[in-house]
Structure formats: C-alpha cells, structure tokens
Amino acid sequence: MKIGIVCYPTFGGSGVLATELGMALSEKGHEVHFITYQQPVRLHFHPNIYYHEVAVPTYPLFDFPPYETALASTMVNVILNNNLDVLHVHYAIPHASAAYFARQILKKTGRDIPFITTLHGTDITLVGKDHTYSPVVTFSINESDAITAVSQNLKDETYRSFPIDKEIQVITNFVDMKRFRHSDKNHFKKMLAPNDERILVHVSNFRKVKRVGDVIKVFEKVHAQMPSKLLMIGDGPERPGAEELCRSLNICNDIRFLGKQEQMDEILSITDLFVLPSEYESFGLSALEAMACGVPVISTNAGGLPEINEHGKTGFLSNVGDIEDMARNAIDILGSEERLRGFKQAALSHARTFDKNHIVPLYEELYTEVVARYKEQQPSV
Ligand code: GMT
C-alpha cells in the first residue's frame, strides 16, 4: 500500500509514534510518504520511505504564514504525484482540517483518497477544547474516514468534549522492543553514578502539563533517603523554573539536565526508575519506552497512564501533585535490590503487550478496511 503520514516532526510523542509507525510499515513492504515541515527526528533511511517537506513561503503581508494552506497543497501534490492510497494524519490540529481540505480539492480531480486521523492528547484535552479551535477540530474529526485514539481514556475524553458522531477505534501506542531493550551500559553508568547511586529519569517536553517541578520535589525526598542521581531529559518552557528549583533546594550536584536526547535506549539502560508526574497524559509513550528497557514507573493516575502503568506491579500510580506518595513509592521500589528486580521484570513483561508487532497490524487492517469502504462509496461513472 502507498501511505502518506503527516505529523509533527519534533521529539513530541505524537511525532515519535507516527515516525515509528511509518518505519515499521516501510519494513513490512509498504511505501511510506512523510509530509512534514522538517525531517522527523526519529526517521531513518529505508528504501520504502519518502520525505516531502512542507515549505511555507513568507510574504511581508503575512504576520502568520499560512501553514495549513501550504500543508494541504503539499498533501494534494504528494497524493497525485505518488498515487497514494490513504493519508494518515497524527494530531488533529491542523492536520485533520488540512487533510479534509486536500480531500475536497482532490474530489474535483476524481483522484481523492480517504484520510485517517489519530488523536494523541492535547489536540483534544487542551488545545482542541479551546473555542478558537473547537469548531474546526469537531468538523474535521467527524469528516475523517476513520478516527483512532491512543488510549481508551482519550477516546472517552473525545466523546465527552466534542459532538463526535463517528466510531473512534482505540489503537494504543506501541514500542519497538528490539530497539528499546536493556543493554549493558555500565561504563556509561559509572560516569553518571560513580558510586553506584540509584538513577532516576524524567523525559518530557517540559511543558506545564508535565509538572516537572514535582519531579524535582520527589527526587529531593528520595535523595534524602538514599544516594541517587536524577537525569532530566528534554527541553521546554518549564526548564528554567525546574533548574531554579533544584538550585533553591540545593541538590543541583545530583541533577543533570541533558536536553533533547536521541539515544534514549542507552539512557534507559542505566535507569532504575522513571518519573512521570503529569497533570494529564493520554498514554505516556515515554513511560512505555522506559518499561520496555525494564524500568519501573512512578506516575500519576491521570488520563491513560493507568492503562500502561499497573499499580503495585510495573510501578505505582498517585494522585496529581501528591509528592509525598510518589516519593514514598519511589523509595519503596528503590529501597531493596530484590523488590527493584521484581518491578523491573514486571515492567518489561507488561511492555511486551505493546510490542509493535502486535499493534502495527491493527493499523494495516484499518488502512485496508478504510480504502475498500471508500472505494465502495464512490459513485460509479
Ligand atoms: O498532546 C501532546 O502534548 C503532544 C503529544 C506529543 O506530540 O507529544 O503527546 C501526546 O501524545 C503522545 C503519543 O501518543 C502520548 O504518549 C502523550 O501522552 C500525549 N501527551 C499528553 O496527553 C499530554
């Protein structure tokens, strides 16, 4: 099949998932065309992968260059020039409305194709709900030929927040267990934790919803009980505040802000505990990648997190903002070698249920079904 994938090309989970999906599909023999404004960070070369950059020309009149118009036009050109069968857009804003626009244009040529929208999180829960966007988001989701959500919680949230009159299918996020696996990185561990301190890790885009200050506060309590180090991976608007907090708590020596990292499997291989205290998380792909490397998770019970983090088995769930509980749970896991080992094994075995080999075929089935249904619906000429 020839598949177009539209996503944000950055380190965000929706772009990561879309890129991993495209790469997995290309390995299975599909021809995959990425349409994005930059090369996606996780994209590796494969003979079946094509990349089409969305260029947004500027003009002195444009205070806000019309990205959505450029994206829709690029979609039209790529679909026509490459004879695509289906378009799969990740993150509704503005990808679903651009796809709708492209499909309408293509209808005039008789070469229109169906589009599938995958909802990822804040396109529904934060940004999408805003009344500046919601009429367009509602319309373009309803106009999609199929809709998927990355967790049951996100599906429920979507129905709660928007008048959606179509079925939303849950296809959970997945992980490549061959790449995300524990490997021996002891030399690396020695550099960061020379005295065999416990290593805690947080990964995010450091936005408000991630509550990065809570990570530092939880770590302060763990650190008071046992020799430990915290690695803060990623970057974003809340980073300066988090750095200030670790200075004011006087624990900077044991916290490293490493910025955006590509070799997450290596970092996760030396990690003992993953901390994700988000206000909301539709799924928590970063936590799943940690679990695949055998790392237990301390998280909140918000959104879809209980769907991946099994309380008392793969880690623990706490109420949003309950620093005391998260710290107590972290100390409980890290306090005994045997207990830590048990949690690590459970995290790894639960991650296996989200292996890409189980999930990618669900997307393939959906593509086949949507393309067949779309063809059937076409008026015969
Ligand atoms: O919604 C966002 O904040 C952006 C999005 C992204 O591009 O990073 O993250 C969401 O999608 C990920 C992949 O499906 C999920 O793992 C994240 O939980 C989700 N983030 C939120 O719901 C806050």
First-last CA distance in the chain: 24
Using the mean position of ligand 1's atoms as its centre, give its distance from the Cα of residue 355 in Å.
19
What is the atom index within ligand 1 of the atom nearest the CA of 288? 16
Q: With a 6 A CB cut-off, is 211 part of the ligand 1 pocket?
A: no
Tell me: do 193 and 317 sit in the same domain. yes
Tell me: do 30 and 70 sit in the same domain. yes
Q: With a 6 A CB cut-off, is 42 part of the ligand 1 pocket?
A: no
Tell me: do 229 and 292 sit in the same domain. yes
Tell me: do 235 and 338 sit in the same domain. yes
Q: With a 6 A CB cut-off, is 281 part of the ligand 1 pocket?
A: yes
Q: CA-CA distance, 203 to 188, in Å (whole number)?
A: 18
104-130 in b/e form (b: 16+ CB < 10 A) is ebbeeeeebbbbbbbbbbbbbbebbbe
Q: With a 6 A CB cut-off, is 17 part of the ligand 1 pocket?
A: yes
pLDDT tens for the chain, residues 1 to 381: 999 999 999 878 999 999 999 999 999 999 999 999 999 988 998 999 999 999 999 999 999 999 999 999 999 999 999 999 999 999 999 999 999 999 999 999 999 999 999 999 988 987 777 899 999 999 999 999 999 999 999 999 999 999 999 999 999 999 999 999 999 888 889 999 999 999 999 999 999 999 999 999 999 999 999 999 999 999 999 999 999 999 999 999 999 999 999 899 999 999 999 999 999 999 999 999 999 999 999 999 999 999 999 999 999 999 999 999 999 999 999 999 999 999 999 999 999 999 999 999 999 999 999 999 999 988 765
Tell me: do 341 and 369 sit in the same domain. no
Q: In this structure, what CATH number is given to the domain that contains residue 284?
A: 3.40.50.2000
Tell me: do 132 and 158 sit in the same domain. yes
Tell me: do 254 and 161 sit in the same domain. no
Tell me: do 194 and 292 sit in the same domain. yes
Tell me: do 343 and 252 sit in the same domain. yes
Tell me: do 210 and 164 sit in the same domain. no
Full domain range(s) for residue 269: 186-354
Q: Are the C-beta atoms of 215 and 202 separated by less than 8 Å? A: yes
pTM as predicted: 0.95
Tell me: do 231 and 105 sit in the same domain. no
Answer yes or no: is 180 within a domain: no
Q: With a 6 A CB cut-off, is 15 part of the ligand 1 pocket?
A: yes
Q: With a 6 A CB cut-off, is 11 part of the ligand 1 pocket?
A: no
Count of domains for the chain:
2
Answer yes or no: is 149 within a domain: yes
Q: Are the C-beta atoms of 141 and 117 separated by less than 8 Å? A: yes
